[in-house]
Structure 1
Amino acid sequence: MKHYHYIFAGSGLAALMTAYKMAVSGRFADKHILLIDPDEKKANDRTWCFWERGNGNWDEIMFRNWKTALFKNADFSRELDFGGYHYKMVRAADFYSFVLTELRKHPNITFAREKVVDFQDNGTQVLVKTEARNYTCDKLFNSIYKRELPASQHKYPVLQQHFVGWHVKTAIPVFNAGVPTFMDFSIAQKGNTRFMYVLPFSATEAIVEYTLFSKDLLPVEEYEAAIASYLKNLGTTEYEIIDKERGSIPMTSYKFWKQNTKNILHIGSAGGWTKASTGYTFKNSDKLSGKLISFLQTKEDFTKFHKKRKFWLYDLLLLDILARTNEKGSTIFSAMFHRGDAAPIFKFLDEETSLAEDLGVIWRCPKGLFVKALLRRLF
């Protein structure tokens, strides 16, 4: 049975970010590291977007970069003032290629194309079982998401950010290449939080996604019918579907970190690294993987890694509202973006605001909804 210093169970976004930062830091060259995943990570299977000021860690593989975006509902339309932020897009295929090219330069890092079926912390080391064989390690990073954990409790609501996206090329110009559509709530809500999301590459090419924040997924046909209807309203019925994307991102304030042990750390969505109130994962993973690298150099007990912050409560209150009254999402987000100044909201959602700045954003929201949600939590 082969032993490693570090094993990654799953090699998704958070795992690859962490392994990459370990490699380029030069501080783990004497450690044997294994990444276990049955997928070779070659497909362009998803798209990540995030807002950021100035230069960032992943600009080398940035596919698109926008300086503004559109927010829309049934009553108004705003081109948002980003206040120095940029909305950046990274394609999965580019990310995988970039990271894996670097990791393969390091002889202490190896890969196993296997499926992890179980792992357990034995106190002094971790036993990792795959369908093919067993391994041991000093420390395990697990990014394999177990839906049954948050689903087995009722204290914290569990919603999904679920979507279907079409990468389309239209016969006539219908998109503004310089202005993505951040959220378009002008579509029928049908008792949910539903919006269209558009990432334009040219006047005739874009990714168009039909997105919901709700508990239950829809039949694929319903997402696709909504996209077709939206394109028709933009003025086109003639288009080529270049590619399709489908996803479901967990949105919950469930305390995933309670599953950590001294030698097992849950990362990515499995560790609660997805921003609960928005479903955004890339920026959070970038921040937390960096903090993890620093943590590994000074501490050993993974139960000490997580620190609960005020933003956890903010996210929880929003999810409480959407779980009880899912149709309120349009009202809440419209209130937040009504002024058009997006920078304070981006800073807030990035969890970088002071208490005074928090209150400035919260004060924009429908206060009665959040007061009632807070009182329900307190009493």
Structure 2
Amino acid sequence: MNSSQIKHFDYIFTGTGLASLMTIYKMVLSGKFSDKSILLLDQDVKKTNDRTWCFWEKEESVWNSVISKKWDLALFANEDFNRSLAIKPYSYNKVSGIDFYNFVFEAISKQQNITFLNEKVTDINELETHVFVGTEENRYTCNCLFNSIYTKAFAERQNKYPVLQQHFVGWFVKTKEEVFNPEEVTFMDFSIEQKGNTRFMYVLPTSKTEALVEYTLFSEKLLPKEEYEKAIQLYLKKLGTENYEILEKEEGSIPMTCYPFWKKNTKRVLNIGTAGGWTKASTGYTFKNADKKSSDLVEFIQEKDFEMKSFHAKSKFWFYDLLLLDILYRHNELGRPIFSSLFRKGNPKLIFKFLDEETSFFEDVKVILKCPKIPFIKALFRVIFLSNKSN
């Protein structure tokens, strides 16, 4: 193919995950980009229910129509205590991947200026005046590129910043017995065996007999598939059921790291989503962070002569996340006591506000003081030493 046949776009999105689709949808909503040509490239056509997202919010958002279930109560449990958390004015919300994809792609399909192509990206090359993008089938150029294809080697081939995984297997089950409380999400149940890690069960009940039950770890290494599934079986038995049908399964591994992905941003290429460090490092939650960042990004690219490299701003919450990850990386078994001390007596509304990165410094201190002091003080000295060493 010669250069005259290479099609040019104003914007290209490589990868159409959560961050890309949120950004594109908000570009459409803004009405400010109808004169811009936009190309979306992904080897996946987004036609399957491949994941479940959850987030908490006070007010309704633009995603309200794709929320399939809301809860006002959240259960935290460990081997010693159960605490039912009244989280109002927040609600805990569930979004199924397929509902989100269908919602956004329906909006995109009505836009003459947006093209989606089911092609695998093989090459991204930034030149002085444009970005070149190669796929297995074609070649394209653009003025600005938004990349959400995650390169795990960036984080894993360095040792300055700890890297954990939030890894899980989930079963959507339908039981014969009524064992679930559809009014209460099980946020974290640490009553299961820890085996030297941070391990908990996570349950999203939609009726007394239906729920997504996930076995989740915050740790460095993944487990054999059968170990996750055995843990789910044991937990369902503990809840009082051995008679159930598995309707669907899901699994995933989300990187938990404070590695500064944004330093890979350049004049014309901006990394977004997990590839840009948009995942909340200490929890693995992505939906709310991506919602905020995508709104910021749509505002940012409306500015005249914007510089991609200047989009990211590091906050105090990056530092807090780094402290927790440092502890869990060195002593993974401390997850249960840390989260238990936080939720045993902590104000759930304040904790959720803190995890949303919306607290004042005074509120931060109130939350952090609930945690075990010695591990955090040690981590603080290590992180300060790391910062001084790198300056």
Which TM-score bucket, shorter chain as reference?
Answer: over 0.9
AA aligned opposite 1:36: L
Work out the CA distance in 1 between the residues paired with 2:29 and 2:316: 32
Give the one of 316, 331, 340 matched to 2:337.
331
> For 1:317-328, what aligned pairs fall within 5 Å after superposition?
317-328=323-334
**Structure 2: how far apart are the matches of 1:54 and 1:10?**
29
Distance 2:103 2:215 in 1: 29
Aligned ranges 1:119-268 → 2 under 5 Å: 119-268=124-273
The Cα of 1:340 is off from its aligned counterpart by 5.5
> How far 1:122 sits from its partner (Å)?
0.7
Residue of structure 1 in register with 2:107 after alignment: 102
Q: Which residue number corresponds to residue 380 of structure 2?
A: 374
What is the alpha-carbon distance in structure 2 between the residues aligned to residue 132 and residue 191 of structure 1? 47
Pairwise CA distance, 1:120? 1.7
Determine if contact 1:142/1:270 at 8 Å carries over to the other structure: yes
Q: In 2, distance between residues paired with 1:272 and 1:120?
A: 21
Q: Distance in 2 between matches of 1:376 and 1:12?
A: 35
Query: In structure 2, what residue type is equivalent to 1:81?
Result: A
What SS does structure 2 have at the residue aligned with 1:80?
strand
Distance across 2 between alignment mates of 1:336 and 1:58 = 30
1:60, CA displacement in angstroms?
Answer: 1.0
SS in 1 for 2:342: helix
Q: SS in structure 1 opposite 2:25?
A: helix
Query: One-letter code of the match for 1:240?
Result: E
What whole-Å deviation, never above 9, does each CA across 1:238-273 have from its counterpart, x for those lacking one? 100000000000000000000000100000000000
Query: Is the 1:317–1:374 contact (alpha carbons within 8 Å) kept by the matching residues of 2?
Result: yes
1:11 alignment partner, SS class: coil
Equivalent-residue separation in structure 2 for 1:241 and 1:54 (angstroms) = 34
Q: Is the 8 A contact 1:80 1:340 kept in 2?
A: no
Letter in 2 for 1:140: L
Secondary structure of 2:60's counterpart equals coil
Amino acid paired to 1:367: K
Q: Which residue of 2 aligns with 1:34?
A: 39
Could you state the TM-score of these two structures normalised by the residue count of structure 2?
Answer: 0.96
Secondary structure in 2 matching 1:123: coil
What amino acid maps onto 2:315 in structure 1?
A: R
Cα distance between partner residues in 1 of 2:30 and 2:366: 38
- 2:259 maps to a residue whose letter is Y
Contact 2:346 2:367 in 1 (8 A): no
Q: For residues 187-215 of structure 1, what are the alpha-carbon distances to aligned partners after superposition, in whole Å with 9 as ceiling and x for unaligned?
A: 00000000000000111110000000000
Structure 2 counterparts to residues 40-51 of structure 1, below 5 A: 40-51=45-56
SS for the counterpart of 2:275 is helix
Q: Which residue does the alignment assign to 1:303?
A: 309
The superposition leaves residues 105-155 of structure 1 with CA deviations (integer Å, 9 ceiling, x where unpaired) of 000000111000110211211011111111100000000000100011000
CA–CA distance in structure 1, aligned partners of residues 117 and 349 of structure 2: 43
| Secondary structure of 1:69's aligned partner | strand
Q: Give the Cα–Cα distance (whole angstroms) in 1 for the partners of residues 129 and 366 of structure 2.
A: 48
Are the counterparts in 1 of residues 122 and 136 from structure 2 also a CA contact under 8 Å?
Answer: yes
| Cα distance, 1:56 vs structure 2 | 1.7
Counterpart secondary structure, 2:364: helix
Are residues 318 and 178 of structure 1, via their aligned partners in 2, closer, same or farther at CA, if it must alter by over 3 Å? same
CA distance in 1, matches of 2:278, 2:196: 28
Task: Tell whether 2:79 aligns with 1:74.
Answer: yes
- 2:354 is aligned with what amino acid? F
State the distance in 2 between where 1:340 and 1:303 align. 38
CA contact (8 A) 2:49 2:98 kept: yes
- Give the unaligned 5+ runs of structure 2: 1-5, 386-391
Match of 1:45, SS?
A: coil
1:176–1:203: 8 Å Cα contact kept in structure 2? Answer: yes
Runs of 4+ in 1 over 2 A off after TM superposition: none
Distance apart, 1:58 and its partner CA: 0.8
State how far apart, in whole Å, the 1-side matches of 2:132 and 2:306 are.
17
Q: Is the CA contact 2:342–2:371 (under 8 Å) kept in the aligned structure 1?
A: yes
Q: 1:325 and 1:93 mapped to 2: Cα distance?
A: 37
Confirm whether residue 90 of structure 1 aligns to residue 95 of structure 2: yes
> Aligned equivalents of 1:61 and 1:163: distance in 2?
23
TM-score normalized by the length of structure 1? 0.99
CA distance in 2, matches of 1:20, 1:377: 38
CA distance in 1, matches of 2:9, 2:295: 22
Give the distance between the partners of 1:36 and 1:237, measured in 2 at CA: 44
- The answer to whether residue 291 in structure 2 is matched with residue 286 in structure 1 is yes
> How far apart are the structure 1 equivalents of 2:18 and 2:88?
28
Tell me the SS of whatever aligns to 1:279. coil
> 2:78 touches 2:336 (CA, 8 Å); kept in 1?
yes
Q: Secondary structure at the match of 2:199?
A: strand
Q: What is the number of equivalent residue pairs in this alignment?
A: 379
